[in-house]
Structure formats: C-alpha cells, structure tokens
Amino acid sequence: MPTILSSRQRAALGAAGALLALAACRAPSPIPVATPAPAAPAAPALPPRAGTLAIDPAASLIAITVRRGGPLARLGHDHVVAARTIAGSVDPAQGRATLRFRLDELTVDESALRAEAGLDTQPSAEAIAGTRRNMLTRVLDAEHYPWVDVVIERTGAAAVSAAVTLHGVTRRYDVPVRLAQDAAGLRASGTLALRQTDFGLVPFAVLGGAMAVQDELALRFDLLAR
C-alpha cells in the first residue's frame, strides 16, 4: 500500500532535492598543481664565424707532462713534452676541426713549461737530449709513425669529441673545453688524460722497471684559430 506524505514532508523532500541538484551543478574544486621550477638556462653557444679558420702555430700549444714511476723513481725526472708546430683548420659553422703535428718536432723540458707544470728542477742539456732520443726511437717509433692527427667535433656548448691517431691507432675522447671568441680569433683550451698503452705504446723503463715512465700522460692544450 503506498505511503501518503503530508504536505510538510513533501516540502522537506522538495527542499532536499533542490539542494542536491544545486550541489550537482557546482564544478568540483580544482586540485592544486605545483608550479615547476624554471629550467636552468643552457650555456650560451658561440656564434659561428663565417668561413674556415687556420690554427696559428705561433699562438698555439700542446704540452704533455710525463711522470716518473717505479721503485727508483726518485732517481729520475718528470718531463714536459710540447708541440708548437701545430697545423690545422677549424670550421666554426660545422663545429669541426682537424689538426696535426710531427713527433720529431716535439720539444722536451722547456724551462718555462716545466715551471708551469710545477716542476722545480731542470735537467741538463745532455739529459734532455737522451730523453728525447729514447722517446722518439724506443717509445714512439717516430721514424715509421711521424704524425699525430686529431679530428675534433663539437658535442656541446663546452665539450668536444676528439679522435686522436698516434702510432697507427685511433682513440676517441670526450673532452671538456673552454671556448673564447673575439677579434683575434677563436681560442680553445682544456686538459686531457690519456694512456700510452691505449695506442699500443710501451712506456719507457730501465733496470727491469725499477725506473720507468708512468703510463698515464697529462695533456693540456691552448689553441688559437684565425
């Protein structure tokens, strides 16, 4: 049997229905969304210069610090080997460069470069000549592999990929680099650690290794192209 509602009950139900309808029409409250932090600005890229630039050998340098090792290391010397006759070109628009230098034109133990490397001794001229002779003949085999070739490709605002060919072997390195460009030209500088054995070289040693050259070499470069 159906229930008969009074007029007061019908009014109450009508009011409740109106409230429900009003609630259904209201938009749901938005969920708070965190505002992301602004991204760090990218390192500015150098504007490309038109045309191909040539490396200036008079204003460019590659210096390599060679450390002594072995139980009798205290009896030997650390050395600095430098390339000053660097030839090559740079294409700023393509972000690419090539350079090369001859091993038999390397200098050994320039006093100013030794001081810059923190070496406070200076070998005699005879010792320097012996070091250079052993380096070129017994280690580098410069007669058969006279050139070092490097192909460089820019990979970022402050990074390059360098393919180094030495002793007939090519190895690739990712190298942080500092770039500066002004009216004088485009300058690139940085450092790189590499191992002689990566190129099939045997570090120089005597007395069964009691006096030896460490495998790892510390290379720094400062190149100017104009």
pLDDT in tens, 9-52: 444 434 434 333 333 334 444 434 444 444 444 444 444 455 89
Q: Decide if 192 is inside a domain.
A: yes
Q: Decide if 169 is inside a domain.
A: no
Q: Decide if 73 is inside a domain.
A: yes
Residue 215 token pair: 């495998």
Give me the mean pLDDT over the 96-113 stretch.
98
pLDDT at 211 over 80: yes
- Read off the DSSP letter of residue 196: G
| Span of 107-111, 186-190, 204-208, 212-216 with lowest mean pLDDT | 204-208
- Read off the DSSP letter of residue 37: P
Number of domains in the chain: 1
Domain span holding position 186: 55-91+104-146+179-225
SS3 content of the chain, % helix, strand, coil (to 5): 25, 40, 35
Q: If you search the block for the tokens 């070109």, which residue do you land on?
A: 89
Q: Decide if 118 is inside a domain.
A: yes
74, 52, 78: which is closest to 65 by C-alpha?
78
Q: If you search the block for the tokens 């007669």, which residue do you land on?
A: 143
pLDDT recorded at residue 50: 56
Q: Decide if 34 is inside a domain.
A: no
Q: Is the pTM of this model over 0.95?
A: no
pLDDT recorded at residue 51: 86
Residue 129 token pair: 């000549």
- In this structure, the dihedral spanned by the alpha carbons of residues 43, 49, 50 and 52, taken in order and rounded to 10 degrees, is -110
pLDDT recorded at residue 104: 98
Which residues on adjacent β-strands are paired with residue 206? Answer: 211
pLDDT at 191 over 60: yes
pLDDT band of 208, cuts 50, 70, 90: confident
147, 144, 114: which is closest to 131 by C-alpha?
114
Q: Decide if 193 is inside a domain.
A: yes
pLDDT recorded at residue 73: 85
Give me the mean pLDDT over the 123-152 stretch.
97
pLDDT recorded at residue 32: 43
pLDDT digits (tens, 9 = 90+) for 68-95: 999 988 888 899 999 999 999 999 999 9
